[in-house]
A and B are shown apart, each in its own frame.
Chain A
Amino acid sequence: GENVEQHPSTLSVQEGDSAVIKCTYSDSASNYFPWYKQELGKGPQLIIDIRSNVGEKKDQRIAVTLNKTAKHFSLHITETQPEDSAVYFCAASKGSWGNKLVFGAGTILRVKS
C-alpha cells in the first residue's frame, strides 16, 4: 500500500523566515496531495492541496510543489508568523477507492518571535 514519509519531524524558524516541509510517497497512482495544519486540541484544517496534473500551487504565503517523477511534494511557507506554529501533515490519496488519505507522521513547526 501507499507509504508517505515526511521530513523534518521538527522545524524551528525565526519569524519572517521561510519554512519548507518535504514529503515523499511510494504509490505512483496517488494523484491528490493535501496539506493540513493541526493546532493543539483541534482537528486538522486543510491549508492547501494539489492534484497530480499541476506542478505548483500558491495561496498567499503558502505554496506547494509536486514532482511526480521523483514522487515528492513540498510545502513552502514564506514570511512566517508566530501563528503559523502548529503541526503540519502531508497526505496522499489515489482519488479512487474512497480517496482514503495516507498521512505523513507530521512536522512540528515553531516560529520564534
Chain B
Amino acid sequence: GAGVSQSPSNKVTEKGKDVELRCDPISGHTALYWYRQRLGQGLEFLIYFQGNSAPDKSGLPSDRFSAERTGESVSTLTIQRTQQEDSAVYLCASSLGEREGLETQYFGPGTRLLVL
C-alpha cells in the first residue's frame, strides 16, 4: 500500500507568516510522529500521537508550534509567526503501534520549509 505522504513538499514563506504542514500516515497506523531536521543534522523529535491524543509534546520548541490529528489519520503541524530559525525539513513518521514488534517507524519524504 501507499507509504507516508506529506504536503506540501516545499514551502517558502515570509517571516511572521503562519504555515500548515500536512501528514497522511500509512493506513491503519495508530502512532504518528513529527520530527525536524535542520540542514546537515540529525532528526529532532517534536511530538507524538497515539490515535488522536498527543501524550508527548516535549519536543515542540515553542508555543508557536502546535499539531493536531483527526480521525486517527491525518495530522497537521502548524507554525505561527514563523522565524528564520524555523527553516528545516519537517518529517512525519507512522507506526502500527508502540508495543514491541509494532514500533517500526516509516517516514514520509518531508516538507522543506524556508522562511525568508
- Is the CB of B113 closer than 8 A to any CB of chain A? no
Q: How far is the CA of A105 from the CA of B71 in the complex (A)?
A: 34
- Is the CB of B103 closer than 8 A to any CB of chain A? yes
Count class of interface residues, chain A: 20 to 34
Q: Which of A96, A97, A100, A105 contacts B42 (CB 8 A)?
A: A105
Q: Is the CB of B42 within 8 A of A34?
A: no
Residues of A contacting B110 with CB < 8 Å?
A: 42-43
Interface size on B, residues (CB 8 A): 26
List which A90-106 residues lie within 8 A (CB) of chain B: 91, 93, 95-106
Q: Is the CB of A45 within 8 A of B98?
A: no
Residues of A contacting B31 with CB < 8 Å?
A: 98-99
* Least distance between B7 CB and chain A CB atoms (Å): 13
* Least distance between A19 CB and chain B CB atoms (Å): 19
Q: How far is the CA of A6 from the CA of B107 in the complex (A)?
A: 21
Instruction: Across the interface, name the chain A residue whose C-beta is closest to B99.
Output: A95
List which B44-74 residues lie within 8 A (CB) of chain A: 44-45, 48, 50, 55-56, 59
Query: A residues bordering B, Cβ < 8 Å?
Result: 6, 32, 34, 36, 41-46, 49, 51, 89, 91, 93, 95-106
**Across the A-B interface, the 7 shortest Cβ-Cβ residue pairs:** A98-B48, A43-B107, A103-B42, A99-B103, A100-B45, A103-B43, A43-B109
Query: B residues bordering A, Cβ < 8 Å?
Result: 4, 31, 33, 35, 41-45, 48, 50, 55-56, 59, 91, 95, 98, 100, 103-110
